[in-house]
Structure 1
Amino acid sequence: MPAYATAVFDLDGTLLDTLEDLHLSTNAALAAHGMAPRTLDEVRRFVGNGIRLLIHRAVPAGTPADREAAVYETFCAHYAAHCEDHTGPYPGIPELLAHLRAAGVALAVVSNKGDFAVQELVERQFPGAFDAVLGECEDRGIRKKPAPDMVEAALARMGADRSGMAYVGDSEVDIQTAANVGCPCLSVSWGFRSRAQLVEAGATTIVNTPAELERVLLGDAPRPPA
């Protein structure tokens, strides 16, 4: 039997390397409104809490709300057309998911990215791999992470419960989400945050490769400490 019956994954920085496309769409939206570009490292710091907050952080301080909203709309249109230009799974992720499914682990994705992009990316990059997929859907009364709502909605769709689950992510938002759900968090070191940032955020288990993550989820190895 696997160590965990259910694994719920973050998307950006955990399963998919989406940073370059997020960076390019951010700068395309800023440029369209006469605003200065942001560096790749700035966008790396800005992501994790959804597109609206990404844009709020990217526009100049004091930008009027209507102009910020216009930048957001431009970003969404550009990203919808270009979200896969440079995006793909981290090495070893497709094999990880295949092995977990073969072992009978229920799999879900919950992401603060817009649901339009999450559904498209997961369907195209990981067809048939997940039992539940949720992007940002606060208009349906499901609060975004780190609130527990998205994970709870995913579990409900799968007919699973939190007692046998692990949450997998790459950021402080994911660590907070797992704490709010009341489940173990497995933090990955290959994503958008450094190991030092993860430790500072309270990570208790950090894995360095998808193969190591697989061994922990299936129970073939002890959980590595942070």
Structure 2
Amino acid sequence: MTHYSTVIFDLDGTLLDTLEDLHLTLNHTLAALGMPTRTLAETRAFVGNGIRRLIERAVPAGTDEATVAKANAEFDTHYAVHCNDHTRPYPGVPELLARLRGRGVRLAVVSNKTQYAVDELVGIHFEGAFDAVVGVRPGVARKPARDMVDVAIAEMGGVACGPSVYVGDSEVDVATAAAAELPCLSVSWGFRTPEQLAETGAATICATADELERALDGTKGTKGDGFVWHPGTKGDGFVWHP
């Protein structure tokens, strides 16, 4: 039995490896506006707070708001066509979601991606897997505010069905879980390293889908991929031991 009856997932870097498509669209946008392009490593560091913030971080310092808005529109136009060119689920994720659904666990996605992109990618890769799919919407504060989590829980019928947990891959997700007053399980296969996650206060860091499933089950795991179950430090969980 899964310890949690509701699991709320981040999307980019947690369920789907979207980095290459984000990077290619970002560089298309920058080149279209005559701006210097960015490396894959820079793009990885910039993501997590939504497309607008990604663009604000990527454009040259001092870029005016009108140009940022133009870049945002160009990004959206290109990404709508190319959001799934290279995007794929992380290993073991589809199978994990299927097992959780088979146990009757409520599942949701909460993403700082624009709603159209969240809907499209979830529909392509995880059709029918989620009870709520929440992207950026007018009037709803984006993560790390708790508002999108609250919307997801409301769309699933509220909190009456039991304990909830938040799963993500970045410092934004750690902060979102804290704001929503939920436990957080962090994954290290996404856009942040284990060390970066630990520095932001992640207490449970899972290296594989199997480790994440054990953490969701509330059972102690075994050594794997540099992570060991280490009870009693920063919260019982998988922690990094280089």
**TM-score class, shorter:** over 0.9
Residue pair 1:100, 1:218 contacting (<8 A) in 2 also: no
2:185 aligns to what? 186
- Identical-residue share of aligned pairs (%): 60
Q: Aligned partner of 1:53: which letter?
A: R
Letter in 2 for 1:92: G
Q: Which residue does the alignment assign to 1:152?
A: 150
Structure holding more helix per residue: 1
Q: CA deviation at 1:160?
A: 3.4
Which amino acid is the alignment partner of residue 159 of structure 1?
Answer: G
Q: Calculate the TM-score normalised by the size of structure 2.
A: 0.90
- 1:153-212 residue CA offsets vs partner (Å, 9 max, x unmatched): 100110132860110000000000000011100000100000000000000111110011
Answer yes or no: is the 8 Å Cα contact 1:133–1:154 preserved in 2. Answer: yes
Distance 1:156 1:84 in 2: 29
DSSP-derived class of the 2:142 partner: coil
User: Deviation digits for residues 131-157 of structure 1, max 9, x if unmatched?
Assistant: 0001111x1x21100000001110011
One-letter code aligned to 1:183? L
Counterpart CA distance in 2 for 1:53 and 1:165 is: 28
- The whole-number CA distance in structure 2 between the counterparts of 1:220 and 1:62 is 50
Shift of 1:17: 0.1
Deviation of residue 217 (structure 1)?
1.2
Q: TM-score, normalised by structure 1?
A: 0.96
Residue from 161, 164, 170 that aligns with 2:159: 161
Partner of 1:177: 176
- Distance in 1 (alpha carbons) for counterparts of 2:173 and 2:158: 20
**Match for 1:102: what amino acid?**
G
Q: Which amino acid aligns with 2:237?
A: P
SS at match of 1:74: helix
Aligned to 1:94, the other structure's residue is in SS state helix
CA distance in 1 between partners of 2:47 and 2:104 (Å): 32
**Where do 5+ consecutive residues of structure 1 fail to align?**
none
1:73-117: per-residue Cα shift (whole Å, max 9, x none)? 100100000000000100100000000001111000000011110
Cross-structure match for 2:227? none
Q: Kindly report which structure 2 residues correspond to 1:46-61, keeping only aligned pairs within 5 A, or say none.
A: 46-61=46-61
Letter in 1 for 2:113: K
Corresponding residue of 1:224: 237
Q: Number of paired residues?
A: 224
Amino acid at match of 2:118: V
2:27 is matched with 27
Higher relative contact order at CA 8 Å, sep ≥6: structure 1 or structure 2?
A: 1
* Equivalences for residues 63-212 of structure 1 within 5 A: 63-137=63-137, 139=138, 141-161=139-159, 164-212=163-211
2:202 is aligned with what amino acid? A
